[in-house]
Amino acid sequence: MLTLPDFKEKRVLLVLCRDKEDLSLKLRSSNIVFYKNEELINKLSLHSAFSVFIIGETTITTKLLSECLKHGISLFFLNRSLKCYGAINARAEGNYLLRQKQYTLSKNVELTLAKSIVANKINNQTKLLYKLNDKYLPKTSTNLQQVKNTQDLLGMEGIFAKEYFKNIFGGYGWYRRAPQTKEDINNLLLDMGYTFAFNFVDALLCLFGFDTYKGFYHQLFFQRKSLTCDIVEPLRPLIDHELIKARNLKIVNEKDFRFSNGEFSFKKYENSKKYANLWLNMLMKNNEEIYKYILGFYRHLQNPEVYEFIEFTCI
């Protein structure tokens, strides 16, 4: 298992690949090496890498893939809209006892875990609201213990989220949260931030040995990593906060985007790197807290009598 001291030294590598260039990732002397037209552009030691995000098209040697998996490095492949279309995850495949725990949880325990996750998320959202504008919203999380099923839990979370987004993004032309539609710049950037956070968490969960398809709040569904969906929920306000800060610091520039065929996209390919780095830098600033949060969940699931459920708090 990856320890915290080791994880704190890890870095995320972002590889931006432009069209009409001969780009390749290779292994050289225990380094991940990025070449453009056979010219060395950048390199990172295998021992320092946690994950690699590749935007666009490149070639990768099988030797590099083999060594990445051996060193616990996950690779994520993103299209030009920064949507992840594929991944090669490093995994602790042999942790069958952990997976057995996942699949034998009672419905009551699963509902209790789901309530804890949603309460954690809503508490973080509430803290962010107070931090930004000192506005009060009812603490929906205090009523969660009365919920009898995950459908009602989803309903309560949705009601709170609607008011939450309206309050924190109201000054930036907010209309609604519309995932994956790219109907405005806010939704485009939030989708990007959530995608990077999702894959970062997924890579960590795999290294602990979890089956990321078996969740408890998000139920089993074909090809959906339901556990990752669960665990990333309390992290979402972190992305929301980062977008607000980027807005206030004028990092978000509307000239970086264009609107075509009913959706927003980046005007220039280089702009995607600017915002990808925004999210990756945010994750690396909070990597220690994210690790502790997932480690706490791992311990709680293995031995709930000894280890309490640990909330993620970084707002």
Q: Model confidence over 205-263: pLDDT tens digits?
A: 999 999 999 999 998 788 789 999 999 999 999 999 999 999 999 999 999 999 988 89
pLDDT value at position 93? 74
**Residue 134's pLDDT is what?**
64
| Contact by Cβ (8 Å): 55, 272 | yes
Task: Report the DSSP beta bridge partners of residue 12.
Answer: 51
With residue 23 as reference, give the H or E element that holds it: strand 23-28
pLDDT band at 303 (very low <50, low <70, confident <90, very high): very high
For the chain, what's the residue count?
Answer: 315
For position 267, what pLDDT does the model report? 87
Lowest mean pLDDT: which of 113-117, 178-182, 198-202, 226-230?
178-182
287 vs 2: CA distance, rounded Å: 13
Determine contact, residues 1/92, Cβ cutoff 8 Å.
yes
What confidence score (pLDDT) does residue 96 get?
84
Domains and CATH numbers, the chain: 4-88 (3.100.10.20), 96-302 (1.20.120.920)
3-state secondary structure 203-264: HHHHHHCCCCCCCCCCCCCCCCCHHHHHHHHHHHHHHHHHHHHHHHCCCCCHHHEEEECCEE
